[in-house]
């Protein structure tokens, strides 16, 4: 492991772009050493530097050349939205294994407005990038992922009113993926599965109303779920409400060797109900399960359940990156419908 220290940058100067501290590793990224190097970068401009961050900006590339071409755009994004920038360069075409961390900060008027961490891995060492990224992100801040021609956001980490802004960007053709959208895939899948049961298919054309319940506050996930249904059924009557509370912080932060379904966070969906008279379909969350019940059908009571997928690092991002470029058409129409459900 080696370290190279560049020239210091005085506080208050114009933003300095690529003055970096460098670490090289033999086996895996040492996150504690990277954090120490980041602290050194902060202190080089003088003591008591204020750091401003509004989001985690994650950028993924497959060669150093791709990143070099995108550096100016990432710098511009960071000047508008103060952030921790995590750049992952996964070069599998280079057979030799290597791991490098490059750390720097950008200051504007004495305040640190961007903390930049560039992780480069070659060969089989690229397997270390995902866990390093997870460990270096700032907790409780939203994440935006730049992946070549696609941008990944998490609407669930922002007030639901931002869905209107997202809908406008998507309407103009912005290639946006949304982790809040990926988060409701199990609800969509179970609703479609129940409606595809042979004795319940007759109700698919008769759905008149739908309602969603969110935990603690109305969230983007609930609005997107209703938007998805309304995009499929234009005359659907919809409503959204709040009941109960999210899972407590102790449960949300418990570390376990066994991967489990993500706890219900603030604004997440706890219930979906839709009515196709005389039948009522109720889907509700019970810890790691989604339970579906159907009442009022001619064939009697129907129950069905599915287990939620375990929450593992990168799972939601992986789902959204199945579409590597362009616009997810179903998401596009659903977010447009969701935005219309917001109070004017």
CB 63 within 8 A of CB 37: no
Task: Dump pLDDT digits (tens) for 156-199.
Answer: 988 999 999 999 989 988 888 899 999 999 999 999 999 999 99
Sequence ranges of the domains in the chain: 3-148, 181-340
Q: What is the pLDDT averaged over residues 294-313? A: 87
Give the pLDDT score at 17: 41
User: What are the structure tokens assigned to 67, written together?
Assistant: 């990143």
CB 23 within 8 A of CB 120: no
Count of beta carbons in the 10 Å neighbourhood of residue 1: 11
Percent of the chain with pLDDT over 70: 87
Exposed, middle or buried, 27 (CB in 10 Å: 0-12/13-18/19+)? exposed
Residue 248 has pLDDT above 70, yes or no: yes
Strands (E) across the chain are located at 3-4, 21-25, 55-61, 83-91, 98-108, 111-122, 143-147, 150-153, 176-178, 209-214, 237-242, 269-276, 279-286, 289-295, 302-307
HEC-encoded secondary structure of 161-217:
CHHHHHHHHHHCCCCEEEHHHHHCHHHHHHHHHHHCCCCCHHHHHHCCEEEEEECCC
Give the pLDDT score at 78: 72
Count of beta carbons in the 10 Å neighbourhood of residue 145: 22
Task: Dump pLDDT digits (tens) for 221-247.
Answer: 999 999 999 999 989 999 999 999 998
Residue 10 has pLDDT above 80, yes or no: no
- pLDDT tier at 250, thresholds 50, 70, 90: low
Q: What is the pLDDT averaged over residues 86-105? A: 93
Distance CA(148)–CA(146), nearest Å, equals: 6
User: Taking the model in full, what pTM does it have?
Assistant: 0.67
Distance CA(115)–CA(138), nearest Å, equals: 11
- pLDDT tier at 8, thresholds 50, 70, 90: very low
128 versus 152: the higher-pLDDT residue is 128
Give the pLDDT score at 214: 97
Q: What is the pLDDT averaged over residues 71-75? A: 81
Distance CA(75)–CA(290), nearest Å, equals: 43
Chain-wide mean pLDDT for the chain?
A: 85
Exposed, middle or buried, 244 (CB in 10 Å: 0-12/13-18/19+)? exposed
């Amino acid at each position: 492991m080696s370290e190279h220290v560049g020239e210091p940058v005085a506080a208050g100067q114009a933003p300095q772009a690529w003055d970096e501290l460098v670490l090289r590793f033999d086996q895996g990224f040492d996150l504690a050493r990277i954090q120490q190097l980041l602290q050194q970068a902060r202190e080089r401009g003088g003591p008591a530097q204020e750091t401003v961050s509004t989001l985690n900006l994650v950028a993924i590339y497959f060669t150093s050349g791709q990143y070099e071409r995108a550096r100016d755009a990432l710098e511009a994004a960071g000047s508008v939205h103060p952030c921790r920038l995590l750049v992952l360069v996964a070069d599998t075409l280079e057979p030799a294994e290597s791991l490098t961390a490059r750390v720097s900060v950008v200051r504007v008027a004495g305040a640190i407005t961007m903390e930049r961490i560039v992780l480069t891995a070659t060969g089989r060492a690229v397997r270390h990038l995902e866990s390093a990224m997870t460990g270096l992100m700032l907790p409780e801040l939203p994440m935006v992922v730049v992946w070549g021609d696609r941008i990944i956001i998490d609407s669930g980490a922002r007030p639901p009113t931002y869905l209107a802004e997202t809908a406008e960007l998507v309407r103009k053709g912005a290639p946006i993926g949304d982790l809040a959208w990926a988060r409701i895939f199990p609800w969509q899948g179970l609703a479609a599965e129940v409606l595809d049961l042979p004795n319940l298919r007759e109700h698919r054309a008769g759905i008149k109303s739908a309602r969603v319940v969110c935990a603690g506050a109305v969230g983007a996930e609930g609005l997107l779920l209703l938007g998805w249904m309304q995009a499929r059924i234009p005359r659907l009557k919809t409503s959204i409400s709040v009941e109960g509370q999210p899972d407590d912080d102790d449960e949300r932060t418990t570390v376990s060797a066994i991967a489990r379904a993500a706890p219900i966070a603030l604004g997440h969906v706890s219930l979906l109900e839709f009515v196709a008279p005389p039948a009522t379909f109720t889907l509700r969350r019970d810890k790691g399960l989604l339970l579906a019940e159907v009442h009022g059908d001619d064939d009697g009571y129907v129950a069905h359940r599915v287990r939620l997928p375990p929450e593992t690092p990168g799972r939601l991002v992986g789902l959204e990156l199945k579409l590597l470029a362009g616009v997810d058409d179903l998401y596009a129409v659903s977010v447009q419908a969701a935005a219309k459900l917001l109070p004017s």
